Structure 1
Amino acid sequence: MNFFTADTHFFHKDLLGYNDFAPRPFPSVEVMNETIIKNWNARVKPADTVYHLGDIALYFTHPAKLSNEAVFEVLKALNGHLILIKGNHDSRDLFKFLDHHNFILTGKPKFEFHDVGALIKLNHRQLYMTHYPMMMGIVKQIINLHGHIHHYSVNIKEDINVGVDTPEKAYLDYEIPFGTPFSETDIEKMIIGKREDFAKRG
């Protein structure tokens, strides 16, 4: 099973609290991290694949090895194979560290890395997955899954924000606990919901 997420921002203290950009009403980054891990693992199984569309964490130390180790420990605690698409807050040094410490999980590497994006087919559509939302023009059966803009939505029906703060989960008629990656079914409902929303606008 494939799942999709973005903008977990593990360890990012400045996001804590209520704000319009990325509301994170947690008392500490430790509680936020633990909440995401718990909700993630309640849904994702070890053999599943999760496309993480960037901004894994925001945590920098000197030496960088300390923060890289801390982020690695969090990612090890998450179920599934992680296909990591580089976000603007993801350092190349972190990716190199993760690659150096990569390991096999249920027959496949825990981590896979993409600098720009990844493309898969799902339900007769192409899903182009990037960190930044893409302006693709008039396209048929191509959907851009993205992150980066947190609690905002692109005013284009083919662009779906899959970040943990996305307002577009309002297109679902059920609750998704904070930090839970979206399933293929969730994505399909969000695509259809946004398309129907745009049709109503005339």
Structure 2
Amino acid sequence: MQFFTSDTHFFHKDLLGDSDFAPRPFASVDEMNQTIIDNWNARVAETDTVYHLGDIALYFTKPAIKSDEAVFNVLSQLNGHLELIKGNHDSRALFKYLAAHNFSDHGQPKFAFHDVGALIKYDHRQYYLTHYPMMLGIVNQIINLHGHIHHYAVPVKENINVGVDTPEQRYLTTSVPFGTPFSPTEIEQMVTGKAQEFREKQ
């Protein structure tokens, strides 16, 4: 099965607390990291695929390789095959480290990498998976799944924020715990709910 998420920001201590941008009421990054790991693994099986749409972590150490090792150790605890789309906080050094330490997990590499984005098809619809929101213009059956903007939503019905802080979870019939990747069914609920909201505003 496929799942979608973005902006986990593992280790990012400056996001801790309650804010309008990225509310994360955790006492420490260790608590935040573990919450995401636990909620992720409660949903994702080892044979599933998760598209992570960027901003995996924000962590700086000296030497820098120590932060790459720490991020690798966290990602290694997450179930599933990870398709990683580069975000503005994801360094090439991190991607190179992950590629150099990639390992086989249930018959496929743990990590795959995309510099800009990916395109997948689901139930007669195309999903453009990017970190930054895309302006698609007038389109049919194309949805841009993105992250980057945390607790904000693009005022365009074809753009769906799948980040862990997304306000578009309000379109779901049942909210998911923090850090849980979204299922295709939940993505479709977001798409339908946002489109309905736009029709009601016209």
Partner SS, residue 157 of structure 1? coil
Show the counterpart of 2:177.
177
Mapped partners of 2:64, 2:188: distance in 1: 39
Identity of aligned residues (%): 72
Deviation at 1:60, TM superposition (A): 1.3
Mapped partners of 1:149, 1:173: distance in 2: 23
Show the counterpart of 1:26.
26
Partner SS, residue 42 of structure 1? helix
Matches within 5 A, 1:120-139: 120-139=120-139
Show the counterpart of 2:37.
37
Write the letter of the residue equivalent to 1:29.
V
C-alpha offsets along residues 114-159 of structure 1, whole Å, 9 cap, x if unaligned?
A: 0000000001000000000000111111100000000000000000
Partner SS, residue 182 of structure 1? coil
Mapped partners of 2:156, 2:175: distance in 1: 24
Show the counterpart of 2:150.
150
User: Deviation above 6 Å: which 4+ runs of structure 1?
Assistant: none
Answer yes or no: is 1:61 the counterpart of 2:58.
no
The total of aligned residue pairs comes to: 202
RMSD of aligned Cα (Å): 0.4
Mapped partners of 1:60, 1:89: distance in 2: 11
Uncovered stretches (5+) of structure 1, i.e. residues with no partner: none
TM-score, length-normalised on structure 1?
Answer: 0.99
Mapped partners of 2:183, 2:73: distance in 1: 24
Show the counterpart of 1:95.
95
Show the counterpart of 1:107.
107
Write the letter of the residue equivalent to 2:30.
E
Deviation at 1:63, TM superposition (A): 1.1
Mapped partners of 1:174, 1:141: distance in 2: 25
Mapped partners of 2:64, 2:47: distance in 1: 30
Uncovered stretches (5+) of structure 2, i.e. residues with no partner: none
C-alpha offsets along residues 78-133 of structure 1, whole Å, 9 cap, x if unaligned?
A: 00000000000000000000000001111111000000000000010000000000
